[in-house]
Structure formats: C-alpha cells, structure tokens
Chains A and B, each alone.
Chain A
C-alpha cells in the first residue's frame, strides 16, 4: 500500500515536471499557428479555432504582402547554418590536434599552455568585442559572415580543446604504445589509431560547438548590420524591436530557430549527457 502511494506521488511529480517543460513550448508552437486576430483576442484562445500555417508560408516562401523581417528570415537561417558549420569544422580540426598534443606529448610549458587555453574559454565576449569590432572595420570584415566565424572561434576553439582533451585522456596509452612498437610515428598513430576511436568524442564536441555557435547572439548583434550576415538570433530579436510587432511571425521564427538544435540534441542525446558531465557548457 505504502509502495503504491509512493508510485502515485512520484508520478504526479513527473507530470508536474513535464508540464514545466512542455507548457511554454506548447504555447510557442500554438502561437505560431494562430492567426493574428486569435493571438490578440481576449479572453485568450488556448486552442486556435482556425489554425493556420500562414506564418510558416510567409517565412519559407515569402510573397509581396509579408513583412520585411519575415522575408529576410530565411536568409538569416542560412547564415546561421553556414557560420555554425564553419566554426564547428575549424574548431574540431585544430582543437583535436592541439588537445592530442596537450594530453599525450611531452614538451615544455605543456601544463601552462593547457591551463592558459582553458582559461581563455572563460573570457566573456563583452571583454573582446571592442578590439574585435575595430579589427573587423579595419579589415573590411564588418557585417560579413567571416568575422562571425573568426570571433566565434574565440569561445569554440578553447571549448573544443577542453572537450577533446577530456576525451583523449580516457583512451588507454597502451593502445598507442602498441602502434609505436609496430613502427608508426606520432602522426601515423594519431591518424590511424586515435582518430578512428575518437569518433564519439568528435561527434559530441562538434555537437556542442555547433549548438553554441547557433545560439550566439552578442557578437552577431554588434558585428552585423544587414541581412547579408545577420544570424537567426539577431533576426528574432528584431521581430520584437519593430514598430508593429508581428507576434505570429516572431513565434514562427522561434520555432524554426529551435528546431535544428532541439532535433540534434534529441538525436544525439547520449552524447549530450556525457558531454555535460565532461564539463561542456552551452551559453
């Protein structure tokens, strides 16, 4: 009897936790498929009487009547995708090489370098933004996706080194020693032995870097000004800043911006939990 009561009690708590997670998301999605008049009705329409995909159509195949922000939103999605992917690839390549050296090879200042690199990961973006802004204007990179890739590496690279270092540490040294005895040099060992078994670490690290870059707002806010470089977070923030707030469009933009990271995280969820434990943080 007591056991039954416990199960009932715990189930209620699970239900509450699920409500906490899903109610705001549900409202986001419902708002995105509601018409403007239903969104602005009192009393509130919890379930739209005439659900519509018009907001999605406006963004995904804009026509003449759609607002400027909705029209350009698709392009910002593309910008975000390109910037986040480039950052991920660059951070993975250079980050895993550096992490391997820092964990496995003996050379002077190794420990200092490791701590120093990890320390730079904690520098807030706002402490870097003025010099990076000056750099961008001097080299004609202001409002270009390239400056976003460069500046995002300031957090993505130390982050990738950190995660890959934790991963390399967990690979037994004996494995490499065996390869060395068989006549492989360091680089061959790295390429033939370490990289193949590092696939899970690379996936996990790549995922975190991508999510962080997709999420980034501050650099994009300061360093971009037009749709040629603006990313999704900036585009969404702009929906709110406009004279007439297009709530439906804003919510639809939110859903579209959330779909890639949420899907990726759900697909790779076991990597997320292990990555979080290894000290990965998304902003």
Chain B
C-alpha cells in the first residue's frame, strides 16, 4: 500500500470525479435519447408510441427518400438556409466594417445590435407576424402610405412571399450576431496594416479582398457554420409566423419532423427525419470543432 499516490494518479482520480456528474447527465439526456431515436427510426411506430412496433429496417428512410414531399421540404430548407445565411453574412460583414471605420455613433450602433440578438426568438416571430398582418399590419400600412400598393395584401397567404418574409424576420435577428462577431475579429487585426497597404499603393478594394477578407476567414467560417446549423434546423420562427403554411410553403425539415411526430403520429418516420438532421448537423459540428481546436486559427 502506497500512502501517498503519485501526482499522475491523483490527477486521474480527481479528473474522473470532476467529469462524472456531467458525463452521467449527458449520457442520460443526450446519448441515450439519440440512440433511442435511432432505434425508433427503424420501426413503424403507431400512434401512442408504446404500442406494437413493427421492425422495418431502413424502410422509413427509404420511403422518405422516395417521396416528393421530402425533397420539396429539403428544397425549402436549403432555400431558407442559403438565402438567409447569405444575406446575413453580407449585411453582417458590412455593418462590422461600418463599426470598424468608427463613424459618429459607432459605439451606440454596436450596443444597439445586441437588442435584436437578445430578443427571444418567439417574441421576434410574434412581432413580425403582427407587422405582416393582412388587415392591420404595419407593412401594409407603410406601403400604402408610400403609395407602393393600392390595397392591403395578405402577405402570409402566398407561399413564395411567406417564405421570404420568414427569412426577413430571421435576418433581423441574426445579422447583429454576425456583425458583432466580425467586428470583434476586425478589432484584433493590426492597425498599421491598412497604412502599410496604402503606402504600397493598394486601393481600398484591393485591401478588402486581399488582406482584410483572408484575415477574417476564421471568424467568418465560425459565424457561417453556427448560422448554417441554426438555419437548417429552424423551427420556432416558422411555427410562430406561418405555422408551416400557406399550403406547406414554409415547411422546412424540422417542421416536417414535428408534423410527422406530433400531428401525423408517425414516430418512426419522424425519428428517421430527425436523425437525418442530426447527421447533417454533426457533420458540420465536426468541421467546427476541428476549426476551433486548431490554436493558430483561433480568433
């Protein structure tokens, strides 16, 4: 018997003891459930979930992948993701640069950006739904007074328009997030860089494309991946603004999963769908973690 354990042994014991509670919690509420979901996705599960389940193997996946409704949903999800994240990146980068140029009021703008980001998603959605209201909404009121429309338009009853309006609400919420990340990254760039570039005869545009953008690349990547994952699985904002309508025009993959699970009573198919979302997200997460844990690429 050793009276005093070596440092390494002590470290190991303490380490396991410190991790154990978190490990057990994560095991119980994340790992076990995700494996159960994977298991359920291989069954046809009737309403009530616990009743007789029929093993169908990859049947749920195969039938999903062969249905036009699935691909239409994927199309809408990609549209939502690409358009909203694309616009958010461009606007976020623009605002970050604006702040970085330190015009009058830049500090107030930076502080103000926190507000849309901090407003809860459901409140954000509710607010925009009211703005888009067909009979009394501010959007109709404004456009009518500006003479751009001659009568009120029921915006959310047109599938193409409804999707873009949900995107607009998402943009309002998320542009500040990207702008804040990127302006923080800009602030860490060496200040004499621009001077040196202009001495060397670089135009502002060349400076932006050849120096600033490459240096911002890690921050942009982080922001992009976070936002892509979020947008791909967007649910709350769609639930509140359109509830998937009109005519399924805003049903994205998370919303379809929700419908399969809780409206159509297809727990098996729903689980399969949710597992597909997980796979996509984890793939992105993997890239994200690899990036974050490469110290020289840190912000």
Contact = CB atoms under 8 A, between A and B. Distances in A.
Given A10-B103, A95-B22, A40 B136 contact: yes
Contacts, number: 290
B11 A17 contact: no
Contacts of A215: 120-122
A130 B181 CA distance: 35
A266 interface: yes
Nearest to B136: A40
B284 to A, nearest CB: 7
B258 to A, nearest CB: 7
Interface in B238-259: 239-240, 254, 257-258
A108 B127 CA distance: 51
A257 B123 contact: yes
Contacts of B25: 94, 153, 157
B185 A22 contact: no
B58 interface: no
Interface string B217-244: 0010010001001100101100110000
A24 interface: yes
A62 interface: no
Contact of A43 (B145, B271, B275): B145
B122 A127 contact: no
Q: How large is the interface on B (under 10, 10 to 19, 20 to 34, 35 or more residues)?
A: 35 or more
Nearest to A90: B25
Given A11-B104, A107-B16, 11 more contacts: A21-B109, A98-B22, A119-B286, A120-B26, A123-B282, A124-B274, A158-B26, A217-B236, A250-B130, A269-B114, A277-B181
Q: Nearest 10 A-B pairs (CB), nearest first?
A: A44-B141, A122-B285, A10-B103, A131-B33, A105-B15, A98-B22, A101-B18, A233-B122, A131-B36, A265-B118
Interface of A: 7, 10-11, 13-14, 17-18, 20-22, 24-25, 27-28, 31, 39-44, 46, 94-95, 97-98, 100-102, 105-108, 110, 113, 115, 117-124, 126-132, 134-135, 150-151, 153-154, 157-158, 161, 185-187, 211, 214-215, 217-218, 221-222, 232-233, 236-237, 239-240, 247, 250-251, 254, 257-258, 261-262, 264-266, 269, 272-274, 276-277, 279, 281-283
